[in-house]
Amino acid sequence: LRHFLGIDGLSRELLTEILDTADSFLEVGERSIKKVPLLRGKTVCNVFFENSTRTRSTFELAAKRLSADVLNLDVQTSSTSKGETLYDTLRNLEAMAADMFVVRHGDSGAAHFIAGNVCPDVAIINAGDGNHAHPTQAMLDMLTIRRHQKPFEQLSVAIVGDILHSRVARSNMEALRILGCPDIRVIAPRTLLPEGIEQYGVRVFNDLRTGLRDVDVVIMLRLQKERMQSGLLPSEGEFYRQYGLTSDSLALARPDALVMHPGPINRGVEIESAVADGAQSVILKQVTYGIAVRMAVMSMAMAGQTTQRQSRQGAE
Ligand code: CP
Where are the domains positioned within the chain?
A: 12-134+288-315, 135-286
Residues 6+ apart with CB under 8 A from 179: 12, 15, 16, 142, 152
**pLDDT value, residue 306:** 87
Q: Cα dihedral angle (260, 29, 149, 239), rounded to 10 degrees? A: 0
Query: Which is nearest to 221 in space by CA: 239, 241, 202?
Result: 239
Look up residue 147 and give its amino acid: R
**pLDDT value, residue 30:** 66
Kindly report the protein residue whose alpha carbon is nearest to atom 6 of ligand 1: 52
Cα 299 from Cα 173, distance rounded (Å) = 25
Distance 267 CA to ligand 1 centre (A): 16
Q: Is 267 annotated as a binding residue?
A: no
Q: Cα 124 from chain centroid?
A: 15
Question: Average of pLDDT values for 22-51?
Answer: 88
> Does the domain at residues 135-286 carry the CATH identifier 3.30.200.20?
no
Most confident of 26-40, 133-147, 296-310: 133-147
**pLDDT value, residue 23:** 94
**pLDDT value, residue 93:** 95
CB atoms within 10 A of CB 253: 22
**pLDDT value, residue 245:** 98
Structure confidence by residue, pLDDT tens digits, 158-180: 999 999 999 999 999 999 999 99
Look up residue 170 and give its amino acid: R
Distance 223 CA to ligand 1 centre (A): 13
pLDDT at 221 over 90: yes
Question: Average of pLDDT values for 250-272?
Answer: 97
Which pTM was predicted? 0.95
**pLDDT value, residue 32:** 64
Mutate to test the pocket of ligand 1, among 53, 136, 165 (most ligand atoms within 8 A of CB): 53
Distance 256 CA to ligand 1 centre (A): 26
**pLDDT value, residue 230:** 60
Residue with the larger pLDDT of the pair 179 and 306: 179
Residues 6+ apart with CB under 8 A from 265: 220, 222, 271, 276, 283
Cα 304 from Cα 51, distance rounded (Å) = 29
Look up residue 237 and give its amino acid: G
Residue 173: φ, ψ to 5°: -60, -40
DSSP 114: I
Cα 4 from Cα 239, distance rounded (Å) = 34
**pLDDT value, residue 316:** 77
Q: Which fold has domain 12-134+288-315?
A: Rossmann fold (3.40.50)
